[in-house]
Structure 1
Amino acid sequence: MSVRFEELAWRPTPLGEISLRRRRDPRLDLDVYEVKLDDEFLMSSLFTAGEIALARLGLAPLSGPGLDVAVGGLGLGYTARTVLADDRVGALLVVEAVEDVIDWHRRELLPFAAGLATDPRTRLARADFFARVAGGDGLDPDAPGRRFDAVLLDVDHSPRHVLHPSHADFYTPAGRRRLARLLHPGGVFALWSDDPPDPGFEAVLAEVFPTSRAHVVRFANPLTGGESANTVYVVQTSTGPDLVEQA
């Protein structure tokens, strides 16, 4: 029997105090892993459908082996683990701003994410995803200008509810164009959001990407007994060079 509550890790960061905790839910008879930033819940192992769907929907438009994928935000690891479950993936770069989150996975504090950090296709990079995009050198600190077949992002609550003001520029047309430069022709960008589809943000995406769709991911909520939903935006560049040139 697990202990009722245990704080597994805690550390002050530039974004706030981040903590990883495990609690036993007697009603559901399972261990629940949660991440908090100050007093705000960021993620829970009870609600993973959106993170899993982010990877599956983001990779679905792509074809061929040896896909090069980047994930922004490591968290509990559900998106990254789902990416690695796709046999077409040849390399995975995970960009995470908080070193402690990377350390959770290296120390295997999260049993459901075991093997993520040791998979030979995986590299965990301690970097600010948004600063890397804005800086123009690309997401990989060791390979400036590297492009990807897919970039999957799960950091902010939504394009309008960001964790830090410095993230806001990423969701503008200029930010989208900078992101487009990091994708191969035909490459995909997918974004998780806790809000319903946002027509204003969809219009921003349509300014830059020729193909854009908002998927509503519905799932059972064991706490309310009802249904909850996330949104996954999936956009794709053109297969020719014109979009990158315009970006």
Structure 2
Amino acid sequence: MDPLSGDAAPRTLDRREGPYGEVVLRERRGPGGEIHEIIANGCFLMDTSDGRSERLLVDAAHTALAGRPDPSVLIGGLGVGFSLAHAAAEPGWSRIAVAEREPAIIDWHTTGPLRRVSAAALADPRTTVLHTDLMAYLRHTSDTYDALCLDIDNGPDWTVTEDNSSLYAPDGLRACARRLSPGGVLAVWSAQPSENFERTLRNAGFSGVRTEEIAVARGVPDVVHLAVRPA
């Protein structure tokens, strides 16, 4: 039992060696019921205990588009499904794509316990699941979106795998900009603020760079970094 949260110790539901290392789905009993969490290469990614920051990621991008008609969104990382579910609950999005490179995570949503979060969103005709590495997709696709909502790491300064760091470098951010329509919005979730990442966004040609904080129960607030591709 976690003496601070009152949650029971987690039990492992599935453990797989994927193309990018080990991914684990765990379950624990919390005060509000079952909580599922995803661990990648021994690093905690996210769980189903809250979801406020994942929802704000999508809301912040939608609000920043300032009433643009029929916007489209690409979500980087399926995770526990909160961002996708929240996007699908918003009728204003005309097209919703989610890029996820781990087949295990897709399975946990399509046939596993995470269906309870994402089933309705996955059945939505606006939704497309792209089984692909986000960075490879950004570099090679010709698709464009009005918003990119990225949540594949614990932030620009705390990546799950070393190769993910290229996404937050100038070249990776320029690849993001190419996939955005003029005036489109990039939103990046992070477990902590990063002034260095804000500078990198500006150096990569983005404008309107700012950071929104999300209060958490303990510790440093989560944040969403926002930036706009100039029109």
Provide TM-score, normalisation by structure 1.
Answer: 0.83
Q: Is 1:102 aligned to 2:102, yes or no?
A: no
How many residue pairs get aligned? The number is 221
Q: Is 1:23 aligned to 2:28, yes or no?
A: yes
Q: Secondary structure at the match of 2:122?
A: coil
Q: Is 1:214 aligned to 2:219, yes or no?
A: no
* Distance change >3 Å, CA 180–CA 189, structure 1 → 2: same
| Per-residue CA distance 1:36-80 (angstroms, 9 max, x = gap) | 124322111124221111111111111233221100100100011
Aligned twin of 2:86: 82
2:200 aligned to 196, 201, 204, which one?
Answer: 204
Query: 2 CA distance for matches of 1:34 and 1:155?
Result: 14
4+ residue segments displaced more than 4 Å: 3-6
Q: Is 1:73 aligned to 2:77, yes or no?
A: yes
Q: Secondary structure at the match of 2:58?
A: helix
Structure 1 residue ranges without an equivalent (≥5): 139-144, 240-247
Q: Is the 8 A contact 2:61 2:149 kept in 1?
A: yes
* Distance change >3 Å, CA 12–CA 175, structure 1 → 2: same
> 1:22-61 counterparts in 2 under 5 A?
22-25=27-30, 28-61=31-64
Give the AA of the match of 2:144: R
Aligned twin of 2:172: 175
Provide TM-score, normalisation by structure 2.
Answer: 0.88
Aligned twin of 1:230: 222
Which of the pair has more CA radius of gyration? 1
User: How far is 1:6 from its partner?
Assistant: 5.0
Q: Is the 8 A contact 1:35 1:43 kept in 2?
A: yes
Q: Is 1:165 aligned to 2:172, yes or no?
A: no
RMSD: 1.9
Q: Secondary structure at the match of 2:55?
A: helix
